[in-house]
Amino acid sequence: SWTTGSVIEEQVAAIREQVGDRRAICGLSGGVDSAVAAALVQKAIGSQLTCVYVDHGLMRKGETEQVEKDFVAATGVQLKVVDAEERFLQALAGVSDPEEKRKIIGREFIRVFEQAQAEIIADEGPAVEFLVQGTLYPDVVESGGGTGTANIKSHHNVGGLPEDLEFQLIEPLRKLFKDEVRMVGQELGLPEEIVQRQPFPGPGLGIRIVGEVTKERLDLLREADAIAREELTAAGLDRDIWQCPVVLLADVRSVGVQGDGRTYGHPIVLRPVSSEDAMTADWSRLPYEVLARISTRITNEVEDVNRVVLDVTSKPPGTIEWE
């Protein structure tokens, strides 16, 4: 019968057998899947694994620290953190179009990740031949039922890597569903905040600022988002909602009155949704007291924000994210 313990034992043995004395690398996104995959492989091969985390400066408050401290503390994994905030901000300067933002973030991410890979590979020691991926069963099914011939070619257009370098994939979660992955993560001793994490988009806060992405706007949105998350957690609502994007309408201003003066600030949108699989979603009927607390705190504590609005659109027609 299925137990998390037997899954872990089985995978650890299989990974040891597969990797031998060679090395593996794993990209961490801050999400559940890559964290659990990395922890499992770490348990199997220890210091033969190096994880790479690209900090693009578009993460929420505390997320990078969570990977740097909590994840490392729980797993003892060897971690390379690449601070690429400046690079991403420069690449995003002057860009407001959502699709363009996504393309830029995706492109820069791959460049930075591959550069880090190349540096790890260039280190002395046995060859790095394996790439760990947090692929889940639903991912395998959606992409047409994998055959297990998992060889990906690295991108030729990016400098720093040998041509035709090939990695064999290690995908220890390929037979699991999300809830099973969470159970395995828990069994491996990962902190609750990582294991129970709600979905968060790869492009991060970059697609939650309607308008140009700047450091100031990111800092402002990080504050507002942290307040919303704090209050939702305090109200015990984390398991009731699928996720709650917090969006800054940077190109919109409205008149307000705060203290003894007129203000002309930006609105923050709360987008709490309930969903089974993110394909469709309904807007969450959050208690008014919780909404009131979030609104009061954000307008009091976040500079330049004088209005909080609630998104009451289901998906379809609205997507969960605004961009």
List, as residue ranges, the binding site for ATP.
29-35
Residue number with CB closer to ligand XMP (191 or 202): 202
Q: Is 52 left (phi over 0), alpha (psi -120 to 50) or beta?
A: beta
Residue number with CB closer to ligand XMP (23 or 208): 208
Residue number with CB closer to ligand XMP (23 or 271): 271
59 vs 207: CA distance, rounded Å? 11
Bridge partners of residue 152, in order along the sequence: 167
Find the shortest distance in angstroms from Cβ 317 to ligand XMP: 11
Q: Quick one: tokens of 107?
A: 């492109």
Q: Which helix (H) or strand (E) covers residue 178, if one does?
A: helix 178-187
Expressed in angstroms, the distance from the first to the final Cα of the chain is 43
Residue number with CB closer to ligand XMP (172 or 204): 204
Residue number with CB closer to ligand XMP (55 or 129): 55
Residues forming the site for ligand XMP (CB under 6 A)? 199, 201-203, 243, 278, 315, 319-321
Find the shortest distance in angstroms from Cβ 106 to ligand XMP: 8
Find the shortest distance in angstroms from Cβ 315 to ligand XMP: 5
* Matching residue, tokens 């996720």: 243
Q: Quick one: tokens of 61?
A: 């408050």
Find the shortest distance in angstroms from Cβ 39 to ligand XMP: 20
List binding-site positions: 29-35
Find the shortest distance in angstroms from Cβ 12 to ligand XMP: 27
Residue 142 exposed, middle or buried by CB count within 10 Å (0-12, 13-18, 19+): exposed
Find the shortest distance in angstroms from Cβ 225 to ligand XMP: 13
126 vs 8: CA distance, rounded Å? 26
Q: Quick one: tokens of 255?
A: 């008149």
Residue number with CB closer to ligand XMP (68 or 321): 321
Residue closest to 51 by CA, chosen among 83, 13, 77: 77
27 vs 29: CA distance, rounded Å? 6
Residue 56 exposed, middle or buried by CB count within 10 Å (0-12, 13-18, 19+): buried
